[in-house]
Structure 1
Amino acid sequence: MSHNPATQPTPAQIRRWRQYVADEAAEGAIYRALAEKKTGQERQILLGLAEAEARHEEYWRAKLGEHDRPVRPSLRRSFLRLLAARFGSVFVLALAQRAESSTPYAKDEDATPQMAADEQVHEEVVRALATAGRAQLSGNFRAAVFGANDGLVSNLALVMGIGATGVSAGMVLFSGIAGLLAGALSMAAGEYVSVRSQRELLTASRPTQVTLTAAQHLDLDANELVLIYKARGMSDEDAEHRAAERMGLFTCDCNPSFSLNPEERSEELANEHEELGSATGAATSSFLMFASGAVIPILPYIFGMTGIAAIITSVVLVGVALMVTGGIVGLLSGASPLKRGLRQLAIGWGAAAVTYCLGLLFGTNVA
């Protein structure tokens, strides 16, 4: 049931409504800041979202009446507004998507059903806007993020296992450097082969313009162009119709669906190529990011630390890095950055703990 204007709102309602006003104003500012960095339809969409947030803001101001007082927006929205003004990247849209998904209006009887529905629509709109950015980052960036994470986990596990055996700090450092180089080269080679193979498969699937160059020399009674169009997914009737047009028997102002346009298919494949990224770029990113991740566990040893102090420092440094990479993955996937960071942390530390225990056991047996 909505609040009756004839009665005075409770202190709890006043506090809640003031927070809504601040948050709606902040969200509107976020979308306007993002719109300033965009053009065309995307800019208009963001401005439309800002206008919708302004309507919600005015609704709560009207309910507050004389109780309207400025308050600070939530920490998340303040941070988002700062990022939007400075960067305007896909990360801001991903965070904005999460903010829209956590709206309290669905459970607040003072909000209208229309406002709750608006927020659901806003989440889907922002999701769609963020999708394009995620697709652009899904090639080389994917290789970079996961390369760094692999470097962190594998080299931390290696350093922990070797260090637990009781060997010298110099041996641990040498093992860590060897693991860094071996892993980085392996990652780069694997990524290069993977992306190159996918691109070659896409290239092999691209339709050619043979229907234009070969048509004039084909036998009219054994028109093999029909086979091409059938192979591209057309029905018998449509294939024969399109082949006759290509042979020059008549000019067809027919349904475009009669042919799978090679140009359109080529454009689709070009987009898939773009999302994959280049093989060299993916390999380079993978090498550099694996190496940058793998160097973190051996930093304490590089700076002369030894024993348990070096191991603890390595674990802490890698833990921070795992939280960062996990948070980035969470942002790009529209999930909770904190949950994804903690998941990465648990996986990395879990692997390190296993190898550390094995190292202790191996070292004891050697002794």
Structure 2
Amino acid sequence: MTALDPELPAPHHHADVSGGRLRPAVFGAMDGLVTNIALIAGVGGGGVSSHTLVLTGVAGLVAGAISMGLGEYTSVRSQNEQVSAEVAKERLELERHPEQEAQELADAWVRRGLPRELATQVAHALRDNPREALRVHVQEEMGVDAEDHPSPWAAALLSFVFFSIGAVIPLLPYLLGLSNLWAALGAGGAGLFLAGALVGRFTQRPWWSGGLRQLVLGALAAAATYGIGTLIGVSAS
């Protein structure tokens, strides 16, 4: 049969599920939306002026974007450093005790169902290829790729940019000249639904299910802060 044989299954490709870029982008956008929707709802419930509300929203956008970027950079950088330290430890073990490490790898494969003879043969073949042996041992023992680390700078930039995009959406009605809290909350809700629907596109969930989930979560956050803002505004007046 040839590569074009119609009886052969069609080739398929998997999405990148390592979390290198999708996670900080999605998390940043969702956090920006929910944070500023809740912030605007809270100060709006307190009865502040439109100018104060916009100022609060912009301050929340800038502070949140910087915080997200720095937090994502620190998180990814720390994770990479921890992985590097564990990889160095495993490399030293492979250099000092190659036979013992090969036996441990074979035992792990036997527990997964491979025949002992085959598992031992492959493990000893890897022992003679230090680089590949290190990669396989790290993958088996820690579940990570010894040579593939996400960029902390890329994660930080994506978080900063997408948080800013998410946070500006509920401010758009005010920036366009509308002084209406419900228009801002409506814009934020539409943004949440759209973001959830887009995430559903990547995760194979129904788009409407992902959209509704994010809309409900955002609405709960907005309701909570609006109620608190209303109570504080009434007690302060």
Q: Which amino acid aligns with 1:349?
A: A
Find the counterpart in structure 1 of residue 114 from structure 2.
none
Distance 1:263 1:344, change over 3 A: same
One-letter code of the match for 2:16?
A: R
Aligned equivalent of 1:299: 172
Inter-partner Cα distance in structure 1 for 2:201 and 2:232: 40
**Aligned in 2, Cα 1:210/1:164: closer, same or farther, shift over 3 Å?**
closer
Q: Which residue of 2 aligns with 1:100?
A: none
Residue segments in structure 2 that go unaligned for 5+ positions in a row: 108-119
Matched, 1:234 2:103: yes
State the partner residue of 1:262.
130
CA distance in 2, matches of 1:292, 1:190: 18
Q: 1:350–1:196: structure 2 CA closer, same or farther, 3 Å change rule?
A: same
Matched residue SS, 2:103: coil
Larger radius of gyration between Structure 1 and Structure 2:
1
Residues 126-164 of structure 1: CA deviation (Å, up to 9, x unaligned): xxx45x31326x211211011101100011100111011
Q: Which residue of 173, 191, 201 maps to 1:321?
A: 191
Q: TM-score scaled by structure 2?
A: 0.76
User: Residue 332 in 1 paired to residue 202 in 2?
Assistant: yes
Structure 1 position 280, deviation (Å)? 0.4
Contact 1:139 1:275 in 2 (8 A): no
Q: Which residue of 2 aligns with 1:346?
A: 216
Question: What is residue 272 of structure 1 aligned with on the other side?
Answer: 145
Partner of 1:110: none
CA contact (8 A) 2:173 2:187 kept: no
In 2: Cα distance, 1:318 partner to 1:44 partner: 49
Show CA shifts across 1:98-120 (max 9, x none).
xxxxxxxxxxxxxxxxxxxxxxx
* Separation in structure 2 between the aligned mates of residue 322 and residue 46 of structure 1, nearest angstrom: 43
Cα deviation, residue 358, structure 1: 1.3
How many residues are aligned here?
212
Provide the residue aligned with 2:110 in structure 1.
Answer: none
Gap regions ≥5 residues in structure 1: 1-42, 51-124, 213-224, 239-253
Query: d(CA) in 2 for partners of 1:47 and 1:150?
Result: 47
Q: Distance in 1 between matches of 2:71 and 2:93?
A: 35
User: 2:24 aligned to 143, 160, 175, which one?
Assistant: 143
Describe the shift of the 1:140–1:273 C-alpha distance in structure 2 as closer, same or farther (beyond 3 A): farther
Task: Please give the alpha-carbon distance, in whole angstroms, between the structure 1 residues aligned to 2:6 and 2:185.
Answer: 43
Give aligned-pair identity as a percent.
Answer: 37
Per-residue deviation, residues 36-85 of structure 1 (Å, max 9, x unmatched): xxxxxxx96999456xxxxxxxxxxxxxxxxxxxxxxxxxxxxxxxxxxx
Contact 2:29 2:163 in 1 (8 A): yes
State the structure with bigger RCO (CA 8 A, min sep 6), 1 or 2: 2
Deviates most, 285-294 or 326-335 = 326-335
Deviation at 1:265, TM superposition (A): 4.6
Report the residue type matching 1:288 in the other structure: V
Structure 1 contact 158–176 (Cα < 8 Å) conserved: yes
TM-score for both structures, normalised by structure 1: 0.51
Task: Return the alpha-carbon distance in structure 1 between the equivalents of residues 58 and 27 of structure 2.
Answer: 19
